[in-house]
Amino acid sequence: MLKFNSFSKASSFIFLSVALTFSFSHSAIAKPNLQPLGENIADIGSKYYQFQIKEFKSTDQQRNYKVWLGIPKQINRQQAQPSIFMLDGNSVMSRLNEPLLKEMTEQQAPVLVAIGYRTNLPFESNSRSLDYTPADQTGKPSIDPRNAERMSGGSEAFRKVILEQITPWVSSQVKLDATRKALWGHSYGGLFVLDSMLTTDSFSHYFSASPSLTWADQRMLKKIANTAVTSIKTKQLLLMEGDMSLQQAAKVSPNFDSAMIQNNRQVISDLNKQGVKAKFLIYPNLSHGEVFGTSLMDVLSNRLF
């Protein structure tokens, strides 16, 4: 079993995940599947987890968040529990199943907090574009540089909802262990994880999966290079990225980052210089989209926190 907090504290570490063999397929280069979702494990019911659902509103009252809280049934309610907060909660919930939950309870099962939107789609593209991305120097939302039909730069307001509304609700239902409280996000969500590591001490472990580091003229790369991280002794970061070849990348969207591995290494280097425990996990031959499910399952199954 891989333990993130057992990784060496030395300089940047690249772990080549060879336990699984991945093959390239056309699905790796397709746009995200936006077909409506069916019932998930919270709807069906689980022998191992008790699920609750609660909705919250954005600070501007324009977006409705749907949050699934999964609490292991066999826990000591008097003891603080490990937890993982996951973005793109609709898609996350569609990937959870009874065998996975059973496997998780064979260890110290974490509390699950899947933060999504009031929709039956796996991704709410317009909303996540605004909520997951950092603002420019004005500090205000602006048009997404990658899509003029979407807004961006609302991560601070979204983080406030998580910290001031969602987390207190979760804590009212189950006691959380502050030393094992994780945040996971993919793509724009990966940017949100990185931004949160810089701006809040509310989590102990940060899992940034295939973050869109070239977005907005490398805004997050520049922010990391120029921001002093607080509470470095209580934070750990794991970057998770696929290394799909450039030949395959030619078939992908123009947003593909041909320097993604180097950009991730730069993040690790900048943070290591500050003393942050930041590591890098590479998935051979996986595309940006495929890293979503694989990284999520790694965090849940291998308990990297």
Query: At 240, which amino acid appears?
Result: M
| Cβ neighbours for 2, distance < 8 A, ≥ 6 positions apart | 298, 302, 304
186 is catalytic: no
The catalytically annotated residue of 91, 127, 208, 288 is: 288
187 is catalytic: yes
Q: ∠ CA 179-91-221 to the nearest 5 degrees?
A: 60
Residues 191/134, Cβ–Cβ less than 8 Å = yes
The catalytically annotated residue of 155, 187, 196, 208 is: 187
**Nearest to 225, CA basis, from 185, 276, 261, 183:** 276
Active centre residues (catalytic):
187, 288
